[in-house]
Structure 1
Amino acid sequence: MKPRFLFRSPRIRRALLALPLCLPLAWAPLSAAAQSAPAAAPAAAAAPKVLRYAFQIAETGFDPAQISDTYSRIVASNIFESPLTYDFLARPAKLVPQTAAALPEISPDFKRFVLRIRPGIYFADDPAFKGRKRELTAADYVYSLKRHYDPKLKSPSLYQLEGAKLLGLSELRKKAVDNKQPFDYDTEVEGLRALDRYTFEIRLAEPAPRFHYFLADAGSMGAVAREVIEAYPGKSMEHPVGTGPFRLAQWKRSSKITLERNPGYRAVTYDAQPAADDAVGQAILARLKGRSLPMIDRVEVSIIEESQPRWLAFLNGQLDMLERLPNEFAGIAIPNDRLAPHLAKKGVTMERVPAGDATFSYFAMEHPVVGGYTPDKVALRRALALAYDSAAEVALVRRQQAVVAQGVIPPNMSGYDPTLRTEMSEYNVARAKALLDLYGYTDKNGDGLRDLPDGKPLVLEYTSQPDQQSKQLQELWRKAMGAIGVKIEFKTAKWPENLKASRAGKLMMWGVAWLAAIPDGSYFLELMYGPNKGQANHARFDMPAFNALFEKQQGMADGPEREAVMRELQLMGVAYMPYKVNAHRILTDLMHPQVIGYRRHPFLRDFWRYVDIDTTALEKAR
């Protein structure tokens, strides 16, 4: 009997009832002989292996050229494939070929990258291919990368390619914009071209020693087939067709995503290279090495935005794993950061790692209230940041499942300096008030609230989501602004709506997180690089001195000199405060005993192919 408290809240009850049933149906068509002989029962088919878990934020779609949110990219990374990927068990992260036959050939000046695609890789079947098997070729990557330059698609990942300055592509894009004509996919450019059926070349205007890391992100650089894009005009977000291990089977927007094994996926077996002293990694390898991938038949992802129903669904066995344990249940599930005995007795295991991310609130630099580079505007942002208590956020909202940030680059990334101490983490209400007084942000009409220097009301508008954690963060901001006499209002909408508005530069402030996709800390400095406005740079910070220094470090080899430049860039971010960076999270994932082989990778999103479901353990749990 289930505890009665599970059903007291109608909202929680509805969320639980919307989850997939625990008992997947197994079926198989009857042969003609079986149909003519009713007494002979057909052999029962093996129950499909299904991985069930939940996203806490709704997806936006599944076109690599149009998505930037983590959850959409997780799905896309399991459908599409990039030329490179990461060894699933190697720590530190190690690049390995995926559709490529080998790691790229890189010229000594880091301006030329050549990749050769393995023959015999095919896209999943689709009517667009008119009944023919469609082989992946070099031209598919040329087309897929060009799509990011198509102005019509407004790619949020374009900055990764434009920053590397692929020869001729930006000019091709500019021609389409200036002439108001469709982007020309058929014009060959020096910076991106197929040399033969299976080989393509990328040429850059300037050195980019770490450019090839971007070619390991299937969520943005995965190969699409031109025939599919053209067969379903305007529907690429909902009709993904790739070469990966899974294909989209069903999608109920913002509610349920179901993927199934791609029957045409090539023969790939489990292999990895964990460190010799990595006991966990070695144990996983010993158990799974040589197994055909993927090992599961289906993945069912529910969208459960609120923490409590997501937690209860895991406890009830309706989810096989709980990715990102909600902070409010840390004391119950992992007291003192160790797995609780009552969960251990059920065979639950945990994976706990630094997230490689930064949580922050941004100030829109083009907004007339909080934006600008003059001393008074800089003082306003720094005062607002000083009034906000990041340590309280870590303690009260994140329940110590994070560390307070000193800058935008998180631990375990190049450019991270563990000795760095900055104003970013400082909480000082008195200093915040003094800054506001000094620059004329005082109460001019006697209502007890501060006004702008010109006498107009000072009103902040903070955008957020309707989930419980977002409400807790709102309360911290309300309290912080109340302590310094600043009025703040909150605008609440669903994540996809906020993301769209933010890209368009329509928000004043928004609290979000940025998650690492590559091992290089400059991925976080991209948040402040001017040309990235509307893409990575949602704050729209654009300062020539920062931009020039950012470009300098992009071409530098790894080492102390580059680290020093990255430190300077972080300090510029602290000084001008386009982002109030609060914390770097620590993530805990919980797995029921039927989940075999799961391990959180710092950058790899497509883990589904590497896990198995132990159906025997699953039946025992039921």
Structure 2
Amino acid sequence: MKMKALLLGAAASLALAPAAFAGRGTDGEVKILYWQAPSILNPYLSGGTKDVESASMIIEPLARYDEKGNMVPFLAQEIPTLENGGVSEDLTTITWKLKPGLKWSDGTPVTSEDVKFTADYCMHPEGGCAQLSFFDGVEKVETLDELTVKVTFDQPKPNPYGPFVGGQSPIIQKKQFENCMGAKAPECTEANFNPIGTGPFKVVEFKPNDVITMEANPNYRDPDKPAFAKVTFKGGGDATAAGRAVLETGEFDYAWNLQLAPDVIANMEKGGKGKAIAGFGPLVERLEMNLTDPSPSLPEGERSTRKHPHPFLSDKRVRQALSMAIDRELLVEIGYGKAGKVTCDLVPAPEIYAAKNDYCLKQDIDGANKLLDEAGYKDTNGDGIRETPDGKPLKILYQTSTNAVRQDFQALIKEWWRQIGVDTELRNINASVFFGGDPGSPDTFQKFYADVQMYANTFNGTDPQQYLAAYRCGNEPKPESQWQGENINRYCDPEYDKLIDELARTGDINKRAEIAIKMNNMLTKDSYTIVPLVHRGRVSAHSNTLGGVVLNVWDSELWNVADWYRIK
């Protein structure tokens, strides 16, 4: 049956070619450059990709996804399925078995207690877990023996591979984090900056928003890996400098996220030191519309919360007009070339889950102006700026991270919005801060102290269930969650929440696709809460002397860093 096929298909795995190196630590140092600098090494306290991926070298999940989107075991002995008995016939439980003999980098054994604790940590009611949607529908997690853990769901779960799967949901050590539960989580600096892990590398020194020094984990489960004895993980700068450091000067071995115009990358490759690599997954550059009021005149703790609806972005017609004014084809041309596609969807891939909407493909300035006219937003004083019916100017603070492509997008969108009578103030924030998740910072994308913000994110694996579940009512960042949460624009629709639950209990792959597409449409074309712009390919670069790199658009790009080696 189709439900069973879905679960059996998840067990597919990839056998990687053996790495061409002699043993652990024999290839010296590898230098990695992420121009968005990591600010924390605990992905449960940050939704930033740069934090999740840097941490993935140190702490690992039970299973993750390979470059084809197949699920492969990491800390687990195998992927639980109906066939092997790991998933119950009624689909309400999944039982994982750890590989025997696993050790943390401090030499202590990894047990099922660590797995259970990880769930307890993220699901703590007073905590602010950035990855809470992975545990959506989890009723309890219990240990059956030292190596076995059982997850029970509150309803049948045809896709039970949320908790502990993928780079966003790794296992953390109970001993290290047990005094860091709930509201105390952000206060545990030592644990958050220096997690004890099972990955190929361990932290030597972490300087937030700057550099991480790592060394080979002496207790890594493969005695011949990793080939590199040391990692210098540098953060900061910009995408241009990162590309040059690998492709032109050879100063670094790997550069992540080369968000640059295609001709710029092509010219850099002429330097002869490395090559760019690219692949399309579900990554979407988009605008998030703040449905709440971010005004600094509101008391701290009430800005950008549901206590105060936005004075004009609460009106769908305004959000729709802002979307209609944008020329997405031009954005793709100047920003990404062949590494980008126009999209109207939040989930453009995999193919079966793609709605393939076309409502936003063509710019319509006249239509946007007509829509705002009909909605009663007039320019009553002749200054070129429309006002709400109660006289508030349509002035928008539009923020994003500092990046040349994003600033080009901002400038164009500001001009298009001027043509429909909307005044726009542009703001760009250092990416390390913007995506950092610091609950004390006013500048994070989670806090959303702006009217509109632009960024891109994606999801692990080939099923968007967890990604779409992020928009459940109550999953928005707020003071009581330490400003963590994935429902960034504060969307809340009880009908959408019902679809989250329906998707969770639906096994037929075609019916799952129907539900997911409906959810995509509710967030995009039906409400314009999320305004997709570009379906982006991931573009990174590595030196000609770095072997073993396999670009993965379905998980952390550093998913197989244990297999990297130096080409002699």
* 1:298 matched residue in structure 2: 230
CA 1:252–1:424 in 2, change beyond 3 Å: closer, same or farther? same
Post-superposition Cα deviations, 1:279-318, rounded to whole Å, max 9, x if no partner, equal xxxxxxxxxxxxx322222221222332332222221110
Amino acid aligned to 2:417? M
Distance in 2 separating the partners of 1:299 and 1:80: 15
Taking CA–CA contacts closer than 8 Å with sequence separation of 6 or more, which of the two structures ends up with the larger relative contact order?
2
**Contact 1:349/1:592, CA 8 A, preserved across alignment:** yes
CA 1:592–1:475 in 2, change beyond 3 Å: closer, same or farther? same
* 2:561 matched residue in structure 1: 608
Match for 1:403 among 316, 341, 345? 341
Distance in 2 separating the partners of 1:603 and 1:56: 21
Match of 2:44, SS? coil
**Contact 1:359/1:584, CA 8 A, preserved across alignment:** yes
Q: How far off is 1:381 after superposition?
A: 0.4
Alignment of 1:35-74 (within 5 A): 48-74=27-53
Post-superposition Cα deviations, 1:322-367, rounded to whole Å, max 9, x if no partner, equal 3333423x225448xxx96x45xx4744432114211111011123
Distance in 1 separating the partners of 2:100 and 2:294: 55
Distance in 2 separating the partners of 1:140 and 1:413: 36
**Largest Rg, 1 or 2:** 1
Distance in 1 separating the partners of 2:128 and 2:249: 42
Distance in 2 separating the partners of 1:227 and 1:307: 35
**Contact 2:201/2:214, CA 8 A, preserved across alignment:** yes
**For this pair of structures, how many residues does the alignment match?**
504
Match for 2:377 among 430, 438, 441? 441
**Contact 1:213/1:518, CA 8 A, preserved across alignment:** no
1:148 aligns with 2:122: yes
CA 1:546–1:591 in 2, change beyond 3 Å: closer, same or farther? same
Q: How far off is 1:228 after superposition?
A: 5.4
Amino acid aligned to 2:332? V
1:166 aligns with 2:141: no
Match of 1:422, SS? coil
1:117 aligns with 2:49: no
TM-score (norm 1): 0.76
**Contact 1:305/1:467, CA 8 A, preserved across alignment:** no
Distance in 2 separating the partners of 1:583 and 1:405: 5
> Structure 1 residues 523-532 or 445-454, which shifts more?
523-532
* 2:324 matched residue in structure 1: 386
Match of 1:421, SS? coil
Q: How far off is 1:528 after superposition?
A: 3.5
Post-superposition Cα deviations, 1:546-587, rounded to whole Å, max 9, x if no partner, equal 221232122111422222222222222212111111111123
* 1:309 matched residue in structure 2: 241
Match for 1:254 among 209, 212, 217? 209
* 1:318 matched residue in structure 2: 251
CA 1:576–1:368 in 2, change beyond 3 Å: closer, same or farther? farther
Distance in 2 separating the partners of 1:371 and 1:405: 28
Distance in 2 separating the partners of 1:590 and 1:494: 22
Distance in 1 separating the partners of 2:388 and 2:400: 24
Match for 1:356 among 260, 268, 282? 282
Alignment of 1:282-293 (within 5 A): 292-293=224-225
Distance in 2 separating the partners of 1:407 and 1:242: 37
* 1:183 matched residue in structure 2: none
1:98 aligns with 2:74: yes
Distance in 2 separating the partners of 1:438 and 1:444: 14
**Contact 1:459/1:487, CA 8 A, preserved across alignment:** yes
CA 1:522–1:266 in 2, change beyond 3 Å: closer, same or farther? closer
Alignment of 1:418-437 (within 5 A): 420-437=356-373
**Contact 1:354/1:585, CA 8 A, preserved across alignment:** yes
* 2:510 matched residue in structure 1: 560
Q: How far off is 1:212 after superposition?
A: 1.4
* 2:529 matched residue in structure 1: 578
Post-superposition Cα deviations, 1:69-103, rounded to whole Å, max 9, x if no partner, equal 111111211111211233x46x3x22222222222
**Contact 2:43/2:168, CA 8 A, preserved across alignment:** yes
TM-score (norm 2): 0.82
Gaps of 5+ in 2: 1-23, 81-85, 181-186, 296-307, 438-443, 478-484
Question: As a proportion of its length, which structure holds more helix?
Answer: 1
Distance in 2 separating the partners of 1:266 and 1:522: 31
* 1:620 matched residue in structure 2: none
* 1:108 matched residue in structure 2: 89
Match for 1:215 among 153, 164, 173? 164
Post-superposition Cα deviations, 1:182-212, rounded to whole Å, max 9, x if no partner, equal xxxxxxxxx1111111111110101222221
Distance in 1 separating the partners of 2:45 and 2:427: 25
Match of 1:212, SS? coil
Q: How far off is 1:229 after superposition?
A: 5.0
Match of 2:36, SS? coil
Q: How far off is 1:47 after superposition?
A: 7.0
CA 1:235–1:108 in 2, change beyond 3 Å: closer, same or farther? same
Distance in 1 separating the partners of 2:311 and 2:393: 20
Gaps of 5+ in 1: 1-44, 126-132, 168-190, 269-291, 617-622
* 1:587 matched residue in structure 2: 538
Distance in 2 separating the partners of 1:375 and 1:300: 44
CA 1:157–1:376 in 2, change beyond 3 Å: closer, same or farther? closer
> Structure 1 residues 303-312 or 591-600, which shifts more?
303-312
**Contact 1:192/1:202, CA 8 A, preserved across alignment:** yes
Distance in 2 separating the partners of 1:227 and 1:589: 34
Distance in 1 separating the partners of 2:416 and 2:170: 41
Distance in 1 separating the partners of 2:34 and 2:400: 18
Amino acid aligned to 1:357? L
Distance in 2 separating the partners of 1:46 and 1:489: 51
1:530 aligns with 2:473: yes
1:494 aligns with 2:430: yes
Distance in 1 separating the partners of 2:520 and 2:311: 17
Distance in 2 separating the partners of 1:137 and 1:116: 10
Alignment of 1:19-38 (within 5 A): none
CA 1:583–1:214 in 2, change beyond 3 Å: closer, same or farther? farther
Distance in 1 separating the partners of 2:494 and 2:427: 32
* 1:513 matched residue in structure 2: 456
CA 1:46–1:567 in 2, change beyond 3 Å: closer, same or farther? closer
Amino acid aligned to 2:527? Y
Amino acid aligned to 1:506? Y
* 2:260 matched residue in structure 1: 327
Match of 1:572, SS? helix
> Structure 1 residues 253-262 or 561-570, which shifts more?
561-570
Alpha-carbon RMSD across the aligned residues, in angstroms, is 2.7
Amino acid aligned to 2:97? R
CA 1:510–1:46 in 2, change beyond 3 Å: closer, same or farther? closer
CA 1:424–1:545 in 2, change beyond 3 Å: closer, same or farther? farther
Match for 2:394 among 447, 452, 458? 458
CA 1:323–1:505 in 2, change beyond 3 Å: closer, same or farther? closer
Match for 1:138 among 103, 112, 116? 112
Q: How far off is 1:456 after superposition?
A: 1.6
Post-superposition Cα deviations, 1:485-523, rounded to whole Å, max 9, x if no partner, equal 211112333235434444245332110111221211334
Q: How far off is 1:140 after superposition?
A: 0.7
**Contact 2:460/2:555, CA 8 A, preserved across alignment:** yes
Amino acid aligned to 2:154? A
Amino acid aligned to 2:542? M
Distance in 2 separating the partners of 1:454 and 1:228: 51
Q: How far off is 1:413 after superposition?
A: 5.5
CA 1:250–1:233 in 2, change beyond 3 Å: closer, same or farther? closer
Q: How far off is 1:422 after superposition?
A: 3.1
CA 1:299–1:526 in 2, change beyond 3 Å: closer, same or farther? same
* 2:412 matched residue in structure 1: 476
